Chain A
Amino acid sequence: MLRDLSEVLLDLHDGVTAASSRWALGVRIVDAQMTLPVEVRAIFRDGGCVLQADVLRNRADADWLAVPSRLAITWAETPVEALP
C-alpha cells in the first residue's frame, strides 16, 4: 500500500532521530545517507497531483519490479532555528 511520499520521509526521519538518540557515549550522528529502493506512483487527488511512494518491504514486492526506483536522501543535523 503506497502512502504520500511525505509520510515515508517522516518515518525515515523518525528512524534517524531514534538511531541518533541511542548514541550517548560521546559519539553522535551528524549526517546520514540512505539509498532505498522505492515504488512510486502519481495520483490525482484534491484537484492536484500527489506523489505516493513506499519502500519495498519484502522480497515478494521486489520481484514485481524489474528495477525499482531509487531514493537517496542525505540527512544533516541542523539547528532547529535554521529550519524554514
Chain B
Amino acid sequence: MNAGIPPLVQDSGVPFDVLIQALTEQLDKAQAAMALKARVGKLPLTFAVKEVSFDLRAFVQVIDDDLYVRPAGPGDSEASTIKLALTTITKPMIEENAIDFKPEDPKLSLREALGDDKDSEDLQRRLERIGVRNVQQLSELRKTAGADVIARLARLPVNRLQQALMTASAPRVTQVESAAPHLDEPSRVHLTSPLLRAGMLPRVRAAGSMVPVIEAQNGGLVLAPLASQMGCEAEIDFGDGDVGRVTLSQGAIGTLNAKGGA
C-alpha cells in the first residue's frame, strides 16, 4: 500500500458513487479546459473526448450497505476489474437539461435559508451534489421523495436534514408597510416561504381571527392585518399538513411544524 494515502482511504477506499463523481468531475474539468484553450486560440475545430471507457483495477467491499472501491496500487494483486463507459453530451442536451441559474430568486437560495456558517456550507455542498440548488427544489423533493431519501442520497444525518428543511421552509417577514395615520388603510406585511404557491391561498390567523391575504404568489404572500394583529404570532396553514408560525413584525423568522412528518 502507498504510504502517501491516508489510512482510511487506504483500507476501505471510497464509496462507489463518490468515485464516479470524482471521475466525472475530472472529465468535466478537462473538457472545460480544452474548450477554453480552443476558444482562446480562435480555432474552428478541436479534439474533444467523445467516449471514455475505464477498466479500473480495484478492490471492492461492502460496508454498511455501501459499496466501497479502492483502486489497486503498486504491489496489489488479484484486484477486481470494474468496467466503466462514459460518453459526452452535446451542448443542446446540456441546455435542455441544465438548471437555469439566472431567474433564481436570491430569497430562495440555500445560503439565504440555511445561513452561511461552516456547518451550513457543508450541508449546502452535499445538497448541491444531488442537484438541489434552492429551497424550492428542496421543498419539492421533500414532498415527492421524503426526507429520509434525501438524507441517504446526500449522505446526511436525517435529523440534521429535517432541521434544515424546517429552517429553510419557515415563513419570514421581509417587509412591513406601515399604514399612514390619516388614512383608514391597514398595514401590509410581506411574507416569504418556499411552501407558498400562486393559486393556493393559505389560511392565516392571528389574535383569534383571520388575517386577510391580499396577494399570493410563488414563494411570497402579502397580508393586510388589523392594527390589533400587528406584533402578534400568526399561524399560517399552507395546506398538506404544513403549519408555520411567525410574528407579524419586521424581520421576524418563524417556525414550521409539518404535521405529516418532514
What secondary structure prevails in chain A residues at the interface with B?
strand
Q: Is the CB of A13 within 8 A of B30?
A: yes
- Contact bitstring B19-62, A, C-beta under 8 A = 1, else 0: 10111011101111111001100011111111111111110000
Which A-chain residue is minimally distant from B74 (CB atoms)? A64
Which A-chain residue is minimally distant from B24 (CB atoms)? A51
Query: B2 near A: Cβ within 8 Å?
Result: yes
Q: Is the CB of B33 within 8 A of A6?
A: yes
Chain B residues near A13: list those with CB within 8 A.
30, 34, 47
User: Knowing A10-B30, A42-B13 touch, does A77 contact B54 (C-beta < 8 A)?
Assistant: no
Chain A residues near B32: list those with CB within 8 A.
84
Interface residues of A in 33-77 (CB under 8 A from B): 39-44, 47-51, 61, 64-77
What is the CB-to-nearest-CB distance from B143 to chain A, in angstroms, rounded to a whole number?
Answer: 29
Which A-chain residue is minimally distant from B88 (CB atoms)? A84
Query: B9 near A: Cβ within 8 Å?
Result: yes
What is the CB-to-nearest-CB distance from A80 to chain B, in angstroms, rounded to a whole number?
Answer: 5
Could you tell me how many residues of chain A have their Cβ less than 8 Å away from some Cβ of chain B? Answer: 43
Residue of A42, A61, A79 ringed by the most chain B CB atoms within 10 A: A42
Query: B208 near A: Cβ within 8 Å?
Result: no
A9: contacting residue among B2, B27, B90, B122, CB under 8 A:
B27
- Contact bitstring B138-173, A, C-beta under 8 A = 1, else 0: 000000000000000000000000000000000000
Chain B residues near A83: list those with CB within 8 A.
31, 34-35, 38, 46, 48, 91
Query: B203 near A: Cβ within 8 Å?
Result: no
Chain A residues near B74: list those with CB within 8 A.
39, 61, 64-65
Residue of B9, B39, B45, B53 ringed by the most chain A CB atoms within 10 A: B45
Chain A residues near B5: list those with CB within 8 A.
41, 43
Complex: A6 Cα to B24 Cα, angstroms: 10
Chain B residues near A66: list those with CB within 8 A.
76-79
A82: contacting residue among B54, B73, B91, CB under 8 A:
B91
User: Knowing A80-B46, A83-B31 touch, does A65 contact B19 (C-beta < 8 A)?
Assistant: no
Q: Is the CB of A72 within 8 A of B52?
A: yes
Complex: A44 Cα to B5 Cα, angstroms: 9
Complex: A43 Cα to B94 Cα, angstroms: 29
Chain A residues near B55: list those with CB within 8 A.
69-72
Query: B14 near A: Cβ within 8 Å?
Result: yes
Q: Is the CB of A10 within 8 A of B33?
A: yes
What is the CB-to-nearest-CB distance from A35 to chain B, in angstroms, rounded to a whole number?
Answer: 9
Complex: A42 Cα to B22 Cα, angstroms: 8
Q: Is the CB of B46 within 8 A of A78?
A: yes
User: Knowing A41-B71, A69-B55 touch, does A9 contact B9 (C-beta < 8 A)?
Assistant: no
Complex: A68 Cα to B46 Cα, angstroms: 30
Chain B residues near A70: list those with CB within 8 A.
54-55
Q: Is the CB of A80 within 8 A of B26?
A: no
A residues at B contact (CB < 8 Å): 4-6, 9-10, 13, 16-17, 20, 31-32, 39-44, 47-51, 61, 64-80, 82-84
